[in-house]
Structure 1
Amino acid sequence: MPMDNWSDCKEILCIRTDNMGDLLMSTPAIRALKETFGCRITLLAASASADIASLTGLIDAVIVFNAPWNREDTDPAEIFSVLEEIRSRRFDAAVIFTVYSQNPLPAALFALMAGIPKRLAYCRENPYGLLTGWIPDQEPYTFIRHQVKRDLDLVASVGAVTSRQQLSLCAGPDSWKAARNKALRQGIRFEAPWMVVHTGVSEKKREYPTAEWVAAGRKIREELGLQLLFTGTAGECGHVRFLIREIGEGAFSLAGLLSLDELAALIGHAPLLLSVNTVTIHMAAALGTPVVVLYALTNPQHTPWKVSSRVLTFDVPPFLRSKNEVVRYVHQHHLSNISGRATPDDILQAVRDLLSP
């Protein structure tokens, strides 16, 4: 199917209604749209990811929508309210960003009902009139590419390209000053070697075992002498306090104390980030901070993009694995040959490698 001519599209709705990390991985594609068409970008985003939109430097407006195709707790009244708001803004086009295991058609129907004339997405089955720009989805059965490349290829199909393919995230000097002051009050000494550690996950299947976090933290302290500055949400404070108590001297907590822009500033100034596979690794990639990621074998296409990194994998327990048949296919055919779990010794060596001159 030939693609629409998008040269006159000046108001584009980007639909990315999942998590913050997913949105950051779409920022190179969003940059391509802005640079190519000189357009204004509005983001349709879940409440969980809307706050990071203002830090990308690319998004002009945000409509918050906890879409039922990505959430289980959507208020039916919200669906019609948001639909009318989108209709009133008279968008020229919509781009639906998805991972290969997501179905774009609910979002495509939503965009059609909102009167958006051009609608672009990957789709495995024939979308008929729901999409005007249909890219048959070959992932993951034919190949798997990085999520950033997937999104860039999507917008390239309508002529949108960029030479700057890095993730986009901005954190100002005031944010760093605030984050630094909060860390100083916790006792860290920035004149001595330090790194950021993030243990919290959005899904239990991505958790790295607590006992191994403790063992890794102790090894890093004892053998490399690094101060460990733990971050996390307010709900993760208890877990972080336990880790700090078990690791001992040289471990500090900023869990529950940082705003999102302060967290970005802290990661941007850190010599290194050690984290599970969550938004923090994509923040590090956007800000050029080296990262060691403890990577649960869920989505192989979400590794750190264009930044110095070490990816240490571990498997997901069978009872926590996704029921999505596409995800299960990937685990069976692409990930089943990866054995073993990242150990504290592996973590120590990865940290040492990335900090070596």
Structure 2
Amino acid sequence: MSAWRDARRILCVRLDSLGDVLMCTPAMRALRAAVPGRTLTLLTAPAGAAAAPFIPEVDDVIAHRAAWMKADPHAAADAPSHAPGHDDGLALVDLLAARAFDGAVIFTTYTQSALPAALLCQLAGIPLRLAHCRENPYALLSDWAPDPEPSGMVRHEVQRQLALVRRVGCPPAGMALSPRLSFVPRARDVAAARALLRADGVDPDAPWLLLHPGASAASRRYPPAQWAAVLRLLTERPGLPLVLTGSAAEAPLVEDIRRAAGVPAVSLAGRLGLGELGAALALAAVAVANNTGPAHIAAAVGTPLVALYALTNPQHTPWAVPNRVLFHDVPCRFCYKSTCRAGHHSCLAGVVPERVADAVAMLLQRAASKPSLGGSGIALKTTA
């Protein structure tokens, strides 16, 4: 552990998407705060790299599409110029070696192997390498955290990553750190979001609701017809302005939902950059979203969240924010699939729109009280 206390230049590896990166931010905060003058560089997929400007703990970012990770179907074709692609593994080794990192922390879910990234870091000459691993990594890791998941337990992703960095003294005993995820919109993002809302007739300083119907995985999307029913119910109660968000690719979905609902609702789909989306989420009274990146941004900015939570896995529920997690229990729970192999989508389709409206009303009632930093609504600790 003494070697880690001397490590100033740390590479954090999380080769996943935006939400996965955000769930590592409490652990990255602990890493950075533990050693004065320590800097963090994030190695991540292009989708995850988009979050870096809004994460104060991150000093630099390297984007890379790793061949051993699941491809992101929505990844932009134009990765940053310093980002090696699938065929540039050796170039990435050279890039990391040139940075002369003192240590690397490899963050993974328990369904992923840390060994390819560990080999990458070893070839780059990074002397300290920390990761969870089920197999004996031998010399690939200088600090091996035997993985207790899923045989002994299943933890929230935030808890998993915090447990990893605690193995190397981060945070030091007695150091108190905020448990919240990190995402800080810039002043210009806040100004732009406020201007867009005003232009569409929504007072950004009065209560309004943000709804995000999209998700990258088909298995995590609440059915459009039920979204439309939710809009109709929310128009009746509580009767606050409704603002829908989504990517440019999700704009047709949002428009279909608006048309089917037949009630007034503003669409900002395709009109917000990532920072502006974070700002809009911060301004909303309550957000409603599938289990997707914007749900984790809502948690990071402290906006109460109704999470329409497909039971694909139990580890990604809202963290450290007032929330209601809605799902319909099914025998095929925790399938870890991007598409519903059973074809019924019952874990989401079974959530009736009235439950969503009731959850929004409950969070609005609690909004004036002290936020609760608690739990998720799904029991995470399981046995094999």
Q: TM-score, normalised by structure 1?
A: 0.90
Match of 1:239 among 242, 249, 253: 253
Match of 1:267 among 281, 292, 297: 281
Q: Which 10-residue stretch deviates more, 125-134 or 307-316?
A: 307-316
Separation in 2 of the partners of 1:51 and 1:89?
21
Separation in 2 of the partners of 1:144 and 1:282?
19
Q: Which residue of 2 aligns with 1:139?
A: 149
C-alpha contact (below 8 Å) 1:296/1:316 kept by paired residues: no
C-alpha contact (below 8 Å) 1:271/1:290 kept by paired residues: yes
Change in Cα spacing, 1:118 to 1:190, as seen in structure 2 (3 Å) is: closer
Separation in 1 of the partners of 2:86 and 2:199?
45
Q: Give deviations 1:56-83, integer Å, cap 9, x for gaps.
A: 1111111111111214499443212111
Separation in 2 of the partners of 1:151 and 1:32?
10
**Cα offset for 1:298?**
1.4
Q: TM-score, normalised by structure 2?
A: 0.84
Match of 1:168 among 164, 177, 182: 182
Separation in 2 of the partners of 1:76 and 1:284?
32
Which structure 2 residues correspond to residues 153-302 of structure 1 after superposition, within 5 A? 153-161=163-171, 163-164=176-177, 165-190=179-204, 193-302=207-316
C-alpha contact (below 8 Å) 1:19/1:46 kept by paired residues: yes
C-alpha contact (below 8 Å) 2:222/2:348 kept by paired residues: no
Residue 344 (1) aligns with residue 353 (2) = yes
Separation in 1 of the partners of 2:255 and 2:350?
25
Secondary structure of 2:249's counterpart equals helix
**Cα offset for 1:192?**
5.4
C-alpha contact (below 8 Å) 1:205/1:316 kept by paired residues: no
Q: Which residue of 2 aligns with 1:150?
A: 160
Separation in 2 of the partners of 1:27 and 1:305?
11
**Cα offset for 1:31?**
0.7
Separation in 1 of the partners of 2:27 and 2:336?
28
Separation in 2 of the partners of 1:177 and 1:339?
35
Change in Cα spacing, 1:224 to 1:183, as seen in structure 2 (3 Å) is: same
Secondary structure of 1:353's counterpart equals helix
Secondary structure of 1:14's counterpart equals strand
* Percentage identity across paired residues of the two chains: 44
Secondary structure of 2:111's counterpart equals coil
Of Structure 1 and Structure 2, which has the larger fraction of its residues in helix? 1
Separation in 1 of the partners of 2:239 and 2:29?
40
Q: Which residue of 2 aligns with 1:10?
A: 8
Gapped runs of 5+ residues in structure 1? 329-337
C-alpha contact (below 8 Å) 2:222/2:308 kept by paired residues: yes
Q: Which residue of 2 aligns with 1:335?
A: none
C-alpha contact (below 8 Å) 1:196/1:272 kept by paired residues: yes
Change in Cα spacing, 1:314 to 1:114, as seen in structure 2 (3 Å) is: farther
Change in Cα spacing, 1:139 to 1:229, as seen in structure 2 (3 Å) is: same
Query: Which amino acid is 2:66 matched to?
Result: A
